[in-house]
Amino acid sequence: MGLEYAQYAKADIDLRYHFNFGKSQVIATRLFAGYGLAYGNSDILPFTKQYYSGGPYSVRAFRIRSLGPGTYDEQGTDEGTFFDQTGNIRLEANVEYRFPIFGFFKGALFADAGNVWNSKENPALTGGQFSGDFLSELGMGAGVGLRVDVQGFVIRLDLAAPFHDPAQPKGQRFDFKADEPILNFAIGYPF
């Protein structure tokens, strides 16, 4: 019919382990890796299939879609320019200690790390391509959370601050910004 359609393949691995101990105490862990490959008449993945990092179900110390790709820094761009911070590679790790407070209220202490990258170089941005130095390009943060859990329906508030920002120059990336926390509101547990 002469229509161009998106051609791509995408694979995700999402490993989760919950270690239950004590009375209603859990250490929940998650490791996520994903890769998308555009082929045929597509140069990139469709927008809705691209990976992003940051937000209430990702690295909670960064705003949604604000982390990456790689060491990309939106502050270094011209005013009025907007670049959607997505990629075709995503790595993420999360750990969360969940504990009861009283009644329906539960608490959490957590740490998250992750980022997105592109497998092909994009001349429109610098630092967005996946490389062997990807561990130093992970965004990392830690925080505390409050959950209201009523028979499995969970309303969640997480307050997190970054302690490793890959958008900063090397040597300045480790900086716990407790004075710049991000508040996330979500429904359900993050993993």
Q: What would the pLDDT profile of 50-70 be if each residue is shown by its tens digit? A: 999 999 999 999 999 989 898
Closest among 88, 73, 185 to 139, alpha carbons compared:
73
Give 171's contacts (C-beta < 8 A, 6+ positions apart): none
What does the pLDDT average to over 121-150? 87
Position 11 confidence tier, pLDDT thresholds 50, 70, 90: very high
Mean pLDDT lowest for which of 19-23, 107-111, 136-140? 19-23
Query: Which residue would you say has higher pLDDT here, 111 or 68?
Result: 111
pLDDT tens track for 20-31: 998 889 999 999
Domains annotated on the chain, with CATH: 8-187 (2.40.160.50)
Q: How much of the chain exceeds pLDDT 70, in percent?
A: 93
Nearest residue to 190 via CA among 20, 16, 46: 16
pTM of the model: 0.88
The answer on pLDDT for 118 being more than 80 is yes
Gap between the Cα atoms of 172 and 164, Å rounded: 9
- Please state whether beta strands 153-164 and 89-102 pair in parallel, antiparallel, or not at all (unpaired): unpaired
**pLDDT score, position 80:** 47
Encode the chain in three state secondary structure. CCCCCCCEEEEEEEEEEEEEECCCEEEEEEEEEEEEEECCCCCCCCHHHCEEECCCCCCCCCCCCCECCCCCCHHHCCCCCCCCCEECEEEEEEEEEEEEEECCEEEEEEEEEEEEEECCCCCCCCCCECCCCHHHHCEEEEEEEEEEEECCEEEEEEEEEEEECCCCCCCCCECCCCCCCEEEEEECCCC
Mean pLDDT of 180-189: 96
